[in-house]
Amino acid sequence: MTPWHGETIEALRGALARGSTTSERITEACLERIAALNPALNAFVTVTADAALQAARAADDARREGRIASALHGIPISLKDLIDQAGLRTTAGSRVRADVVAHADAPVTARLKAAGAVLVGKTNLHEFAFGPTSEESGFGAAHHPVDPERSPGGSSGGSAIAVRTGMSIASIGTDTGGSIRIPAALCGVVGFKPEWGDVPADGVVPLSRQLDHVGPLARTVTDAWLVYESLCGRLPAPAATLTAPSLKGVRLGVLRGYFEDRLDAEVADRHAAALDTLRRAGAVLEPVELSHAATMAAVYLPLVLGDAAAYHADTLERRPEDYTPGVRARLEMGRALLAEDYVRALHGREVIAREIERALDGRQALVSATTPVPAPRLGEPTVAVRGGSEPTRNALLRLTQPFNLGRQPAITMPSGETQDALPVGLQLVAACGRTQPLLELALACERALAG
């Protein structure tokens, strides 16, 4: 029997069109994967098996009548449990919201339903999306699909696990400092953070509204594009395809300095090999340094801390014990910020955004590793990098958060594995307004890296 849960949207829509399978069978396969793997990996907070099967049968009925909503018609997709789906609780991975039921669909949820997607459940995450490891969750830590002793990354950890293991064919995550790209890279799937504002974040529990982005995790670049199009409210035609350009003469800015100085040795090796592959495919690689790179974390921190503190202050006063200890401590830290430092960070964000855009002038994309280290062990507060040690949280966010400040579209794709079979990701970033060319370029890179 074909393991439908392990296929791409591209493959499944073809099989569905040919009548080789049904949405019901694909959905059953995903639900079986959830039943088999979720007890160990803890990727889902809520599974909507009955509703999903009902939606799948309805999708099959519509297909038989010739009504095919889009390329996602009948495809099982999961939602990070930060996103509202009417009638289901939105826990944000926190006991604080254990019983908070959404009365309406978030716009992205409604758009997926309009595209014909089958929603199979809500995925686990770092509590309130406030961390990159998914270990501080009110519903227990999520576990890496290759090595359960390790973190899948976060905050959209459950989404990355679901896609990697076939519990859902794609998933919707959010990204405030890297929360789509980090778990996607650590779990070996594709993660796409759209340009800020492209995809509505209404009906999504905020971490920092000025840095929050909603986007897809999927098995391939084309799948991520199909889901992204749906999230934007543009129903992709059932046979819609992305076209890969030639890489010959394409100018890519390779981020140096801050972005390369402190990479794990195996990550550095895989990254260098990926760049070499792109060079051999004809890309022109140009070194780029961002002069304000070393200040980026110092700009990011006051913004996210201040915004999160404003959202949580009242609840922290009333129900502090319902937060996980680490998230509570970081939120309390945010309450100590001075307004003057928040304003300096607001100014810094604009400076950094302009600097990134200047670095992209005349270049198709900037390139870096997605994370400086592979999946860290759960519970380890620091990771070893190049003979030194760095807080795990800082290390995981280091290469992705600049593009939340800059608000550029950014995508990660698998670029290899360590000797322990832990995935390594390659990050591509394009200028604002250049999303479609970025995704086309990413498809070309994905093909080159696949050999």
- Could you give the C-alpha distances from 403 to 90, 399, 425, 429, in angstroms and in order? 27, 8, 16, 8
272 near another protein, rule: CB under 8 A: no
Q: Tell me the closest approach of the beta carbon of residue 356 to another protein, in angstroms.
A: 14
321 near another protein, rule: CB under 8 A: no
294 near another protein, rule: CB under 8 A: yes
Number of residues that bind another protein (CB under 8 A): 25
Burial of 287 (0-12, 13-18, 19+ CB in 10 A): exposed
DSSP β-bridge partners for residue 286: 253
Nearer to another protein, 342 or 437 (CB): 342
Helix (H) or strand (E) holding 120: strand 118-123
Of 340, 361, 388, 451, which lies in the binding site for another protein, with binding defined by CB under 8 A?
340
Over the window 184 to 223, marking each residue x when it contacts another protein by CB under 8 A and - when it does not, the resulting string is: ----------------------------------------
Q: Tell me the closest approach of the beta carbon of residue 38 to another protein, in angstroms.
A: 31
Nearer to another protein, 61 or 350 (CB): 350
Taking a C-beta distance cutoff of 8 angstroms, is the pair 26, 4 a contact? yes
What is the Cα 361 distance to its own chain's centre?
Answer: 26
Taking a C-beta distance cutoff of 8 angstroms, is the pair 163, 171 a contact? yes
Q: Tell me the closest approach of the beta carbon of residue 188 to another protein, in angstroms.
A: 31
DSSP string, 237-280: -TT----PPP-TT-EEEEE-GGGTTT--HHHHHHHHHHHHHHHH
State the DSSP code for 449.
H
| 369-388 residues near another protein, rule: CB under 8 A | none
Closest by Cα among 172, 181, 177 to 152: 181
- Which residue stretch of 63-71, 137-145, 322-330, 439-447 sits at the interface with another protein (rule: CB under 8 A)? 322-330
Q: Tell me the closest approach of the beta carbon of residue 286 to another protein, in angstroms.
A: 25
357 near another protein, rule: CB under 8 A: no
- Which residue stretch of 28-36, 62-70, 152-160, 292-300 sits at the interface with another protein (rule: CB under 8 A)? 292-300
Q: Which residues does the annotation mark as catalytic?
A: 80, 155, 179
* Residue whose tokens read 């976060």: 154
126 near another protein, rule: CB under 8 A: no
Report d(CA 157, CA 154) in Å as an integer.
Answer: 4
Q: Which residues are at the interface with another protein (CB under 8 A)?
A: 292, 294-295, 297-299, 301-302, 305, 325, 329-330, 332-333, 336-338, 340-341, 344-345, 347-348, 351, 391
